Amino acid sequence: MNNVFFSENGLTSTSANHVANLAKEFIQSIESDVQNIQFYKSEVALIGTSEKNLIEQGITDDELKRIPDGLQQIWEAKSLIAWLREAIKARKSLLDAVEKMTLEQYAAENGIELPKCPEHRKTATAESIYAELSVKERNRILALQAKASTIGKYIHPDGRFADERKKFYDKTRNQHQVKGEGRDTLLYTYTPSCDPDTLEDVFFELQKIHRETQAELNKIEHEVNDKIRNDEMEEAATYAAEFSQYRGRMNELEAILHSYKLAESKRIGALKIVIPHDLQSIYDTVNSLGK
């Protein structure tokens, strides 16, 4: 803090500004005297007459000797103005610094450790959960996925087994087919190569295996999603508790900073602008003009 301008006794900013304005007026009055000078007298007369008329009166010796004193009063008054203006500016600077002070600045100046804002931790993902499985567990999942994919693709409506099953029943209903004309006519005959019941048994067996396999995969996926959801809920609860504690401490520190700003602004506002000993004489002269 710039203490050079202030003390318990002295001028308020309002009084200092008033004195500075008085000093400015005082300078103007002195400057008119030291600037309005002429070191000779001017007279005029008609040619052929001895009567002279005074045009300009030069300064006298006494007036000339008073010039240094006048200049001294000017520079002393200017020094007084400069001192008062700098003091007013210094007070404003101190008040502005207090007003703009951040919590980080206040903490650093007073050795206070600010709490660290909590951060969200990374929660579990399907990848991270699978990465923690044993070799047997991970292989089981991959095997189930391969099994479900293989069978599903095979018995899917567009799959090979499903397509040939459809053709089987089509050819069973239409066992004969004629192609060509005349002597080139060909007669195709279609007969089942396997028992329809066996075909259906295998088809529905494959469907059952696919459903069971997919059900096991869905169960595993559901368990993984549960773990992800539970971990996210746990993390959210932990973060909320940590942030509540952090916000509480920050609110406490912000209240302390607010109280400090009020008290410091009041203290700075109560400081008086001191008049240096070397400026006391010109201050008394200028201040007397306002009374």
Residue 189 φ then ψ, to 5°: -125, 135
Q: Give yes or no for residue 79 having a pLDDT over 70.
A: yes
Average pLDDT of the segment spanning 29-46: 78
Q: What does each C-alpha distance from 250 to 36, 108, 110, 111, 170 come to in angstroms?
A: 67, 15, 15, 15, 79
- pLDDT digit string (tens) for 153-173? 999 998 999 999 999 999 888
Confidence (pLDDT) at 144: 96
Confidence (pLDDT) at 36: 76
Confidence of residue 230 (pLDDT cuts 50, 70, 90): very high
Q: Give yes or no for residue 174 having a pLDDT over 80.
A: yes
Q: What does each C-alpha distance from 280 to 116, 127, 175, 192, 272 come to in angstroms?
A: 54, 82, 131, 129, 15
Which secondary-structure segment (H or E) carries 159? none
Q: HEC states along 85-97?
A: HHHHHHHHHHHHH
Token pair of 114, please? 């600010």
Q: Percentage of residues in the chain with pLDDT exceeding 70?
A: 99
- Give the pTM: 0.65
